Amino acid sequence: MPKRVDHEERRNQIAEALIRVAGRRGLHAVGMRDVAAEAGVSLRLVQYYFETKEKLLFYGLQHLTDRFTARVGARLRAAGTDPGPRATIEALLLASLPTDEEGRTFHLLYSSYSILSVTDEALAAQPFIDNPDAAENALTGLLEQAQASGLADPGIAARTEAISLLAMTATMGTSILVGQRSPESAIAVLRHHLDRIFSTTETSANGAAGRL
């Protein structure tokens, strides 16, 4: 009796091969033949599942996003059963920094996808991410929750801070990749800004009184 093929498992196998090759050589330099060789399958099989390189790249992006979601989940579980808004925000932001091989691959490929989607018409025709504001909305909600609980400075603009934190993390991730700064330095900068945001109401009031 012939072995039953799990098509989703085969697609994921090919997507993992794409991520490995692109992590070594850069997304722009990867062809379907390279991915087939890495996955240990024929080029024809890769073409059967994905037809074009653009479809393979788009599926690879979805697979990469799933891996990132699992990475965030692992960090949140490590933070405890009720980590609170600050620890949750740290888990979300630190997961995207290239402080290890998994983070390096995610940041490198996600940045590459962003750039390619600007210049590649086939990729541009696909939604780059299903919900582009998801991270921004999540951080905004956590900051508002912290403000309501008296854990964060009530005077901050939660959405503006969320946007700033995401932009800062993305930029520092690139600076780590190119060797401009160390992971430890980037984490210290990130925590410096979180220390500023997560000041208690009492601390904020005392600071305001001292300025009068």
pLDDT in tens, 107-119: 888 888 888 878 8
Higher pLDDT, 121 or 109: 109
Q: How confident is the model at residue 129 (pLDDT cuts 50, 70, 90)?
A: low
The answer, yes or no, to whether residue 170 has pLDDT greater than 60, is: yes
Burial of residue 130, with CB atoms counted within 10 A of its CB: 0-12 exposed, 13-18 middle, 19 or more buried = exposed
176-199 average pLDDT score: 93
Q: How confident is the model at residue 126 (pLDDT cuts 50, 70, 90)?
A: low
pLDDT in tens, 66-104: 888 888 888 888 878 888 899 999 988 998 899 988 889
Q: Rounded distance, CA 169 to CA 138, Å?
A: 15
The mean of the pLDDT values for the chain is 85
Question: What percentage of residues in the chain have a pLDDT greater than 70?
Answer: 87
pLDDT in tens, 53-66: 888 988 988 888 88
Q: Among 31-35, 93-97, 169-173, whose mean pLDDT is lowest?
A: 93-97
Q: How confident is the model at residue 1 (pLDDT cuts 50, 70, 90)?
A: very low
- Helix then strand count (H, E) for the chain reads 11, 0
Q: Using the CB atoms, write b or e for 67-76: b if 16+ within 10 Å.
A: ebeebbeebb
pTM for this prediction: 0.78
pLDDT at 161: 96
pLDDT at 27: 84
36-53 average pLDDT score: 94
Higher pLDDT, 118 or 187: 187
Instruction: Output the DSSP codes for 158-175.
Output: HHHHHHHHHHHHHHHHHH
Confirm if 125 and 172 have CB atoms less than 8 A apart: no
Asked whether the CA dihedral 184, 167, 177, 80 is positive or negative, the reply is positive
pLDDT in tens, 4-22: 668 899 999 999 999 999 9
Q: Residue type at 188? A: A
The answer, yes or no, to whether residue 25 has pLDDT greater than 70, is: yes
Q: Quick check: helix, strand or coil at residue 52?
A: coil
